[in-house]
Structure 1
């Protein structure tokens, strides 16, 4: 094993998800208030996001989202596209209030990099790259420490589709046995185990939608994960 795939929200970046979502939609509604009312905007974003998550077509998530969103509005989609992108350098930045850094995960990332592991951001690619880069920095991490960052513009599938993980492996030229997936979401992150990727479930900020026992090769807190990273061998 030489590659560590990390989920972002709730894993590398601890957050109050409800507060994050509230700030996100409030700020987006203000930013696009001259084009659409806030309730309709939120409804359309959720619907187009669902279309992205369900899509198994070989189209980027951006293409799927914008094609679906275009069917829900009367305005030129390019106007929305431009505004969505500029939003992530303006009102979106207020969502930082809902997130915080975790010293154990920061130390784990630094240690794994020092030991020679390739580090990957395997976040659900529902956001443009610039929004993901902001959130990596909010976690107190350095973007340059990661060899691959999934994003809405680049990736063609979303979690919990196993095709999301297969695409990352293909892009990296890795086999499942080369990797471990670290995440806090039972359904979205641990599904990587279905294609033979080792899994580590972070139990802080745990997301579990069913009562079934969470299947993971390893489970533990942020502190436990740091101890796990300490025991991993240095790579030549």
Structure 2
């Protein structure tokens, strides 16, 4: 049984003290951009952009899209005019902030042990920073980004860690692993409670000795105790349960978010590629999801809302790919239509609940 580990970074794998690190980070960025932007204007725009990212529940826009749409109009400067200065900051200035952090001596031995067990590992750090910044911080912790199956950053994720949908998006990007999943982090409000709302087992990293309790309550203890805790744990008890209303809505949001992230950089030829003659191409999968959403899922929700014992017909959708000639549709257009259809479905569900 393969365990999937979702590991927080700051103050879990890396001693960071965000209350000191974030102000120093903002001040360093303000100094670098001072020739183009007054620091007080930039601070307001940074805070406002970060708040918008934390609030966003839009699975069709990355957190970078959300931040840029808030930040650049406020500073009244196009992104293109700042791109060189921003890249120089993350390449040459940001690494100098490493002195505000320190390695956790127990982190690297634990991760190496976890890899030796065949565990799948994602770095589930709050995706509020650019990829370069997150990769620098991983290296400060003693790791290389390429070691991990996934590292969440703001350019390809759609939710912050305040939302259960973030954790569902992580799993979606990893192909929805079948086995047990454990979220490990130090922050109750961003690491533990949202993961539990999705239905994941959690391990709260703090200074107390490790204690095992039920998956719903989670476990807590030092990072140095986590290996022994896992060695004695019943991994079957860590299999997620996606049954609550919050969990269902999070998964519904995360599916298009993960698909948007996975397909954003593929070329046009890849949309119609079939791994084998019997497989469906990506464009066929997207079109099938879109039409199923519109013609089946939404109809079923309406019937349940209107009738106490509805009869729900289920057509043979396996023939749609050939009948409807999905291979000749435009992939990006079909994906956008699926996003729109999923949004309509979620609106229907929320109306039914209200």
TM-score range, shorter chain: 0.7 to 0.9
Quote how far apart the aligned CAs of 1:228 are.
2.2
Quote how far apart the aligned CAs of 1:80 are.
3.1
Quote how far apart the aligned CAs of 1:105 are.
1.6
The answer (yes or no) to whether the contact 2:41–2:75 under 8 Å persists in 1 is no
SS of 1:84's partner is helix
- What residue number does 1:168 align with? 170
Quote how far apart the aligned CAs of 1:175 are.
4.9
SS of 2:102's partner is coil
Q: Could you tell me which of 192, 197, 201 is aligned with 2:204?
A: 201
- What residue number does 1:38 align with? 39
- What residue number does 1:178 align with? 180
Rg larger for: 2
- What residue number does 1:187 align with? 189
The answer (yes or no) to whether the contact 2:125–2:152 under 8 Å persists in 1 is yes
Quote how far apart the aligned CAs of 1:28 are.
0.7
Quote how far apart the aligned CAs of 1:68 are.
0.8
Q: Could you tell me which of 109, 112, 126 is aligned with 2:111?
A: 109
Kindly provide the CA deviation profile for residues 43-92 of structure 1, in whole angstroms up to 9, marking residues without a partner as x.
21011011011011120111110011122122213223443333111221
Distance 2:217 2:29 in 1: 36
Distance 2:178 2:68 in 1: 32
SS of 2:171's partner is helix
- What residue number does 2:30 align with? 29
The answer (yes or no) to whether the contact 2:5–2:181 under 8 Å persists in 1 is yes
Distance 1:168 1:117 in 2: 15
How do 1:119-138 residues align onto structure 2 when only pairs under 5 Å count?
119-138=121-140
The answer (yes or no) to whether the contact 2:4–2:179 under 8 Å persists in 1 is no
TM-score by length of 1: 0.88
Q: Could you tell me which of 112, 133, 156 is aligned with 2:158?
A: 156
Quote how far apart the aligned CAs of 1:127 are.
0.8
Kindly provide the CA deviation profile for residues 173-221 of structure 1, in whole angstroms up to 9, marking residues without a partner as x.
22585311000110101110111111010015xxxxxxxxxx7411011
- Structure 2 CA distance for partners of 1:56 and 1:85, relative to 1, 3 Å: farther
Quote how far apart the aligned CAs of 1:102 are.
1.0
Distance 1:67 1:217 in 2: 38
- Structure 2 CA distance for partners of 1:233 and 1:194, relative to 1, 3 Å: closer
- Unaligned 5+ runs, structure 2: 208-215, 236-354
Give the aligned length: 225
Quote how far apart the aligned CAs of 1:144 are.
2.5
Distance 1:32 1:105 in 2: 35
Quote how far apart the aligned CAs of 1:113 are.
0.4
SS of 2:76's partner is coil
SS of 1:111's partner is helix
Distance 2:42 2:136 in 1: 23
SS of 1:39's partner is helix
- Unaligned 5+ runs, structure 1: 205-214
Give the structure with the higher percent helix.
2
The range that moved more, 173-182 or 38-47, is 173-182
The answer (yes or no) to whether the contact 1:157–1:163 under 8 Å persists in 2 is yes
Quote how far apart the aligned CAs of 1:20 are.
1.1
TM-score by length of 2: 0.60
Residue 12 in 1 paired to residue 13 in 2?
yes
The range that moved more, 223-232 or 167-176, is 223-232
Q: Could you tell me which of 72, 81, 90 is aligned with 2:74?
A: 72
